[in-house]
A and B are shown apart, each in its own frame.
Chain A
Amino acid sequence: MNLADVTREIKRADLLQMYYYLRLTRAIEDRVTALYRQGRIVGGCYTSHGMEAISVGYASALERDDVIAPFHRDMGVFLIRGFTPGEILAQYLGKRTGPTKGKDGNVHMGDLKRGVIGFVSHLADNLPVAAGVALAFKIRGESRVAIAGTGDGGTSRGDFHEAMNFAAVRKLPVVFFCNNNQYAYSTPQRLQMAIHDVVDRAKAYGMPGEIVDGNDVAAVYLAARCAIARARAGEGPTFLEFKTMRMHGHSEHDPAKYVPAELLEEWKKKDPILKAEQLLTQLGYGDEASFHEAGERAKKEIEAGLEFAEQSPLPEGREVLEGVFADKADSY
C-alpha cells in the first residue's frame, strides 16, 4: 500500500480503530482456541487466524444499515457490528445468553437488528441470500448494500455461481468476496479449481473483479469501500478476491500436516497484525507502546466477556421445543 494513498484515503482514527479490531478479533479467537483445547468448548472450532484483515477491513467500510452475510472466517464482522465478546463467548459455550440461545454453536450466529445474517454450514448458501437482501433494497429504492463471501472451496458450489449470475443480471447492490486462503480443509486450490485466480470468475458473470492483499487491512478497506460505493450508486455487484493464507487447520482439531511448512513460514511474515503495525509505524500513527496498550485493552475486553459467558446459564432441555415457527415477521 502506497503511504500517500493511505494518508489521503483513510482517516487516522478509522485506521486505528481497524487496528484495534484486528487485535480484538485475534484475541477472542485465541481465547476460543484455548478454551477448545481445554475441552471447555465442544463441537467445532473454526477461526480466522491470520485472516483478520479481511473481515475487519470490509466490515469497517460499510454503513450501519448495510447487511452482511458472513461465512465462518469473519469474526471481525460480529465485533464491529456490536456483538459483545460476552455474547460471542456465551454462544461458543452454548449458553442461553448467546445470540442463538444455545440452538446453534460457534460462528453460526446472526441478528437482523444488527444487520448480520446467520451463517449456515453449507458454504456459499449465504451468497444467494445476500443477493436477495440486495434485491429487497433495490425493490424498496433504499441506498443500502449487502455483502457476502465464502472461501476458495465455497466458490466451487452451485450457489456461488447462481448468486453471482443473478446479482449481475439484475444489477443488485451486493458485493461478493472470496477469502482465498489456499486450502479448503485439506484440499489445496489446485484440486479445487483449474484457474489460478478466483477473480477470473467475475468477468464470466459480467461484473468487475479485483485481487486484493487480504492481509493488508488498509487495502481490504479501500477495495471494499470502492465496491460498496459502486453498488450503492446503482452500478451493480463487484467481486473481490482476498488473497491470504490459512494459518491454522481447517478447524482447531486439524493439525493440517498437509500444508507445507515453508508456506506457513512465508505467510507468518505477512501476518495482518504485523503488517498493520508496520503501516501505523510508518505513518506515525502508533508505536510499540500504543500497540501493547491496544493488546492489553483487547485482552481485558475478552476476559470480561468470558466472565459474563461463564456465569451465564445453559438453556434447559425443554427449550429445544421453542422457536420452530415465527409469530411475526418484521421489516429490516
Chain B
Amino acid sequence: MTTETMQRQQEVTYLEAISQALDEEMTRDERVFLMGEDIGTYGGAFRITEGFLQKYGEWRILDTPLAESGFVGAAIGAAMMGLRPVVEMQFADFISCAFDQITEVAAKNHYRWGAAVPMVIRAPFGGGIHGGPFHSECPEGWFFHSPGLKLVAPSTPYDAKGLLKAAIRDPNPVIYFEHKFLYRRIKAVLPQEDYIVPIGKAEVKRTGTDLSVITYGAMVHLALEAAQQLAKEGIEVEVVDLRTLIPLDIDTIYASVRKTSKAIMLHEDNKTGGIGAEIAARLAEDCFDCLDGPIIRIAPPDTPVPFSTPLEEFFLPKTSEIVSAAKKLVAY
C-alpha cells in the first residue's frame, strides 16, 4: 500500500472532521472567519482550531471577550456586510447569553427587511461527559421555535464535515449542534474531494421493516446499538437520522413510518416540547391511517442535566430503554 493510499484511508474523528471543514472553507473562501472564546492562542477548548491562528492570523481567528451577546451581534453585523462568520460557543449552554441576538435580530432580519445573515454558530451540545447542568445541555428546542433559523445536528464524521460546509455556504443563520460526546469516540474515512451534506435532508442510517426510530445527534448511535440487539430477536429497526432539525425533512420521516407503521422518537433533549413531540404531532395528523401503534417518545425527564454519575445515567436515554420500547411497540 502506498503512503498516499494509507493517508487517504486514514480515519478521521468527528472532531477532526469539524476542524477540516473549517480549515477547508477558510482556505476556499476568504470571507469566512472565526470568532469565539479561546479559539486563537489556545486553539479552542476542544482543540478544534489548533494551529488556525498561525495559519490565518488574528483578523480571521478572533479571540473574543467573554460576551456572547456582543460577539454574536457583531457576527450578525459582519455577515450582513457579506462576510461569513463562524461563531463558536465554548459550550452550547452559553448560547442562552446570545438568545436575544439570535432570535430577534438574526432570525427575523431577512423576513422583515430582506437582509440576509449568513452566519454559523457552532454549539457543542449534549451530555455523558459529567459536565452537569451548564456544560451538557441540548438547547435546540428553544431555537426550533424561532422562524428564520436553520438548525443542524450531525451524528457522524462524514455528516459533521459536510453539514458544516453546507452551513457556512448557506445564506441564512445556521446553528450547528456538534455533539461533544462524539468528538473523539467515532471515526471514519472521509472523501478527499470537497463535498457537502445538504441542509434539509435526513438520512436512513439503517433500513428496517418493523419500526422507525427517528433521532439525531449522539442518540443515533444508541439507536443503531439497540437495532443490532433487536435484530438478534428478529426485529428489524429502521433508524432515521434527521441531520437537519430545521427545515425538517418530513418526507423522509413520513416515508419511513408509512413503511413500518410504528414510530419511536428518540432524542437527548428533554421530553416535553422536544422535537420528538412536534414530529409525533405531525405523524398523528398526516399519517394516522398508516400507524399501527402509538407514537412513543424516548427522551430524558424534564429536569436540568445532573452532574453525579448515577443521576446522569438515569437521566440519559439507554439502549435497554429503546430495546424494551421497541419490543412493546412491535407486539402492539
Contact = CB atoms under 8 A, between A and B. Distances in A.
Interface of A: 67, 69, 99-100, 103-104, 108-112, 117-118, 120-122, 125, 127-140, 146, 158-159, 162-163, 165-166, 169-170, 323-332
Interface residues of B, number: 44
B100 A103 contact: no
Interface string B26-64: 000001010000000000000000000000000110101
B74 A332 contact: no
B33 to A, nearest CB: 7
A329 B81 CA distance: 9
A136 B171 contact: no
Contacts of B111: 103, 323-324
Contact of B112 (A118, A127, A131, A159): A118
B80 A117 contact: yes
Nearest to A170: B62
Interface in B100-122: 100-101, 104-105, 108-118
A99 B60 CA distance: 33
A108 B111 CA distance: 12
A138 B114 contact: no
Interface of B: 31, 33, 59-60, 62, 64-65, 67, 69-83, 85, 100-101, 104-105, 108-118, 147-148, 150, 171-172
A118 B115 contact: yes
Contacts of B60: 139
B137 to A, nearest CB: 21
Given A122-B100, A131-B70, A111 B77 contact: no
A169 B114 CA distance: 31
B148 A325 contact: yes
Nearest to A112: B115
A327 B171 contact: yes
Contacts of B72: 128
B65 A100 contact: no
Given A132-B74, A136-B83, A326-B172, 8 more contacts: A125-B73, A135-B78, A159-B69, A166-B74, A325-B172, A326-B114, A330-B82, A332-B82
B113 A111 contact: yes
Contacts of A138: 59
A326 B59 contact: no
B74 A165 contact: no
Contacts of B112: 100, 103-104, 108, 118
Given A131-B73, A132-B73, A166-B71, A324 B115 contact: no
Contact of A326 (B73, B108, B116, B147): B116
